[in-house]
Structure 1
C-alpha cells in the first residue's frame, strides 16, 4: 500500500473542516434539496479553489468532501484527512534559543506536548517578561518574533479572525528605510489570541500572519 503524501497544511485543514461542517448542517437541517445541492456545489468550489496546484490523487481526496451525505461520513472523512497533514517543523530548545539569541533566559513552551500536524505557528507567553513569542515558517525557514503583549478584553484576532481572548501584540520591525537614521524605530501591533493552541485550531488563512511576519523580520516575498 502506497503511503499517503502529506499536502494539507493546518490552516487548510481547518478551512476544509469549516466547509464540511457547513455541508453537514445543511444536510441535517435543510429540507429543500435544491438548497442542499447549492451548498454542496459551494463547498466543492471553495475547497478546490484553496488547492489550485492539486494533482490527480489530491483532487480525489478533496473532491470527496462535497459528496458526503450520511451521518457519520463527515467525521470519518475529516479523520481520514489526518494522513495527509503536513507537519510544522519539529523544533528543539536549542533551535528556539538561536531564534531569540538576546533572551538568555528564554522560557520555552512544552515541546513534548505539541502535535505538529495542527500547528501553523508556535506561540507562547512569558508572563515574567511580559513578552509573547511567535515562530513561523517563512520561505522555508523558521522565523522568530518577540514582542510586548497587553491583555485586553475579547476582540477579533488578526490571525484566525475569530472573536476570542486577545492581547495587543507589539513587535519592533527589523527593516529600515535606506535613508533611516541610526535610532530609527518602528513598532507594529495587532490583536492576537493569547492562547495560540486555540488560534491554530481556528486559522483558515495565513495571509495576515505571513504579512505581519514579513513586516517585522524585513523579508520581502520571494
Structure 2
C-alpha cells in the first residue's frame, strides 16, 4: 500500500524542478553543466521534503537520470498515489469556523481534488469577502477578510507568482486587548486560489500571515 508523504506545495516543487530540468536538457549541451543541474534538481526536491525514508528518497532521486519528456511525465504520474491530501473537512466544520456568517456560501466540496490543495479558499462576490481554511496540527483555522481587486499584476504573498492580485484586509485584535482595540493587516494575494495552490512551493509566508491574524 502506498503511504502518502508528499504535500501539495512539495509536489509543486517537484513539478518546478522537473520543468526546469527538461528545459535545460533541451537547451544545454555541456555535459558538466547538465550533471550539475541534474544533481541540483534532485537535491532541491529532497530538501523540500524532510524526514524521507531511504526508499522515498531513492524514488525522488530518479529525476536525475531521466532524458525524455515521457520519462518526466511518467515520473510525475507515478508520484500521484503518494500525495497527501488536504485533511477531510465537512460543510458543518467550515460553518463552525465562521459562526458570524449565517448565510455562508461554501464551494462544492465534492468537486475539489484535495490532493492539490494547500489551503482551501473562496470568494463571496456579494460581500467581497475572501475565506481561507488552513489545517494545522489536527485542527482547522478559519480566516475571513475583505478583498479588493487591484487590476494590476504583482507577486502573491502565498505563492510568489507574478499574477493579477487583490488586496486582502483582515481585522485582528491583539491578545488581552479591549473590544475596541481592533486593527487590520493587509497583504496582496492571488485572485485565483486554484492557480495559487498549483504554484505554491513554500508555506512559510502563508502560515506567517495566518498566525498573525488568527483570533
Q: Distance in 1 between matches of 2:65 and 2:203?
A: 27
Q: Do structure 1's residue 209 and structure 2's residue 206 form an aligned pair?
A: yes
Query: 1:113-135 CA deviation, whole Å, 9 max, x = no partner?
Result: 10000000011000111100000
Q: Within 5 Å, which residues of 2 pair with 1:86-101? A: 86-101=84-99
Q: Do structure 1's residue 200 and structure 2's residue 197 form an aligned pair?
A: yes
- SS of corresponding position for 2:143: strand
Residue 157 of structure 2 is matched in structure 1 by: 158
Residue 109 of structure 1 is matched in structure 2 by: 107
Q: Distance in 2 between matches of 1:52 and 1:86?
A: 14
TM-score relative to the length of structure 1: 0.92
Q: Within 5 Å, which residues of 2 pair with 1:67-146? A: 67-146=65-144
- Assess if the C-alpha contact under 8 Å between 1:138 and 1:210 holds in 2: no
Structure 1: 5+ residue stretches without partners = none
Poorly superposed stretches of 4+, deviation over 2 Å: none
- Assess if the C-alpha contact under 8 Å between 1:171 and 1:188 holds in 2: yes
Residue 46 of structure 2 is matched in structure 1 by: 48
Query: Which of 5, 10, 13 is residue 11 of structure 2 equivalent to?
Result: 13
Matched length: 214
Residue 173 of structure 1 is matched in structure 2 by: 172
CA shift for structure 1 position 173: 2.1
Q: Distance in 1 between matches of 2:138 and 2:91?
A: 19
CA shift for structure 1 position 181: 3.4
Q: Distance in 2 between matches of 1:155 and 1:110?
A: 29
Q: Distance in 1 between matches of 2:178 and 2:102?
A: 28
Cα RMSD after superposing both structures: 1.2
